[in-house]
Structure 1
Amino acid sequence: MPDFGLSGRVALITGSSKGIGYALAEGLAAAGARVVLNARSLGALNAAAEALRATGAKVDVLPFDVTDAEAVRTAVDGYEVTRPIDILINNAGMTFRSPLEDFPVEEFDRIMRTNVYSAFHVGQACARHMIARGRGKIINIASVQTALSRPGIAPYAASKGAIANLTKGMATDWARHGLNCNAIAPGYFETELTAALVADPAFTAWLEQRTPQGRWGRVDELQGAAVFLASDAASFVNGHTLFVDGGMTACV
């Protein structure tokens, strides 16, 4: 099915030296794309790039801080001189847990800068080039917390709710220029960031009861959704948030 192929496409994935971002890079590379890994640490990027190249993937690295608008523009514009960025996945994100009444203001600011501002900065920088070419794919990584919340993570939930509406806004402004702007909302996946929760028997028992599929997700199970939204198969999908959560948001 050629519409699902990404051969000849270039995909920038932010926060892709590990975890979900790295898994998404693996998936897009397997579909034929050249992947551009991003993080702040060049050492971590180079290690991830070597691991991907060992599988035969075409990989570049592009270190920059996604929360720094000027650094983002400089990096994206500089890379575009060599190759066009056809696909952007805004994956960079973080969280901090605290009761809302005690939530540190500086951590609230950091969550918003990392989870929301970054998608705006990188999305805008890439979209300016995509608009000029009349095509492009932007995929923002939302969360099951786009629709739900849990104690101690209200600012994170607010940031992921913002991502869903920013995605709608991107589609509203940029679809007429040939861009497809969508989001993927993962449920609970086993990653380095969730290791403590995975190791907590009480939390895992709650998760297994709360999720219709009865288990944690595997990061490779996000790859199909990303390849679909990045491909021509999704040419008339715009402003949509695709939940990949084992059915968690489908039930009470």
Structure 2
Amino acid sequence: MTAVDYSKLFRLDARTVVVIGGGSGIGRESAQALAAHGAHVVVADLKIEGADETVQLIAEAGGSAESFQLNVLDDAEVEAAAERFGTASALVFTAATNVRKRMEDYTLDEFDRVVNLNMRSSFQLIRHFGKRFAANGGGSIIGFASIRAQVVEPGQGVYAATKAGLVQLAKTAAAEFGPQGVRVNVVAPGVVETPLTAQIKANPEWYDAYAKKSAFGRWSRPEELAGAVVYLASDASSFVTGSTLMVDGGWTAIDGRFTPPAS
């Protein structure tokens, strides 16, 4: 048996990783972390200016990256991107949106907007990149779900449904592409300080209630998701597929917000 060099378990040297949504937030931090571990990162985003800024940050740190404009709602663009970058070793996608409304108040236009970005585009990315990775001997696909795939609250119905759907898509893709060496997993954050949660952060009572739900008494920061991405993109997770990696500060593990007396 060949000895494993564990010092290189998380290294991504000579590999290309595509990060969709890499122009800001969790995607930007993930892109920087992947580059720091040796990957050449394709920073893809609808807003090319944000992608360019991420590339600049990576370059300033001595890493390798390129920017790429991509609209994940355009099927032809997604298929072309998969063809162009199909020899990459990993795909990471973070793009999502939310409309916080109770179901009775939702419009079908709002429903379509959330489902199309969160669910339909995920389906397209997974199947097109999965097919290309499979043809090239394997790869890792990493999507971003949420605690809302498991636990919900009023006003989160459609968003939660799309994230639960992504979890099941990942499991199915893991089964279908696994024989060709393709791994498919999702990261499930708790509440992260990103533009998507700005509405909550602006309300002190709401913000504090969410902070108390974490075992650490605070929200997570985007950079705290980057380690999970590096792990799932690297050989450190070579036998991990069809899984949901919770990075939620204990949100889904802890029962309630009250600490009872021990005796």
TM range (shorter): over 0.9
**Where does residue 36 of structure 1 map in the other structure?**
42
Is 1:121 the counterpart of 2:124 in the alignment? yes
Is 1:64 the counterpart of 2:70 in the alignment? yes
The answer as to whether partners of 1:90 and 1:123 remain within 8 angstroms in 2 is no
Q: Which of 162, 165, 170 matches 2:165?
A: 162
Question: Percent identity at matched positions?
Answer: 35
* Unpaired runs of at least 5, structure 2: 1-6, 256-263
Distance apart, 1:246 and its partner CA: 0.3
SS at match of 1:11: strand
Deviates more, 1:242-251 or 1:186-195: 186-195
Distance apart, 1:86 and its partner CA: 1.0
The answer as to whether partners of 1:141 and 1:183 remain within 8 angstroms in 2 is yes
Instruction: Tell me the alpha carbon deviations over residues 101-129 of structure 1, each in whole angstroms, 9 at most, x when there is no partner.
Output: 01011111111110111112122221222
**Where does residue 14 of structure 2 map in the other structure?**
8
Q: Which of 213, 216, 224 matches 2:216?
A: 213
SS at match of 1:32: coil
The answer as to whether partners of 2:18 and 2:85 remain within 8 angstroms in 1 is no
TM-score, length basis structure 1: 0.94
Instruction: Tell me the alpha carbon deviations over residues 109-166 of structure 1, each in whole angstroms, 9 at most, x when there is no partner.
Output: 1111101111121222212221112110001100011111121121000000001101
SS at match of 2:72: coil
CA–CA distance in 1 between the matches of 2:186 and 2:28?
Answer: 17
Is 1:144 the counterpart of 2:147 in the alignment? yes
Distance apart, 1:79 and its partner CA: 4.1
Q: Which of 182, 200, 212 matches 1:197?
A: 200
Instruction: Tell me the alpha carbon deviations over residues 2-54 of structure 1, each in whole angstroms, 9 at most, x when there is no partner.
Output: 12111111111111100111111111111111111111122232222222222
TM-score, length basis structure 2: 0.91
CA–CA distance in 1 between the matches of 2:153 and 2:74?
Answer: 29
**Where does residue 78 of structure 1 map in the other structure?**
84
Q: Which of 133, 147, 166 matches 1:130?
A: 133
The answer as to whether partners of 1:25 and 1:37 remain within 8 angstroms in 2 is yes
The answer as to whether partners of 1:111 and 1:155 remain within 8 angstroms in 2 is yes
Give the number of the structure whose alpha-carbon radius of gyration is greater: 2
The answer as to whether partners of 1:90 and 1:140 remain within 8 angstroms in 2 is yes
SS at match of 2:224: helix
Letter in 2 for 1:188: V
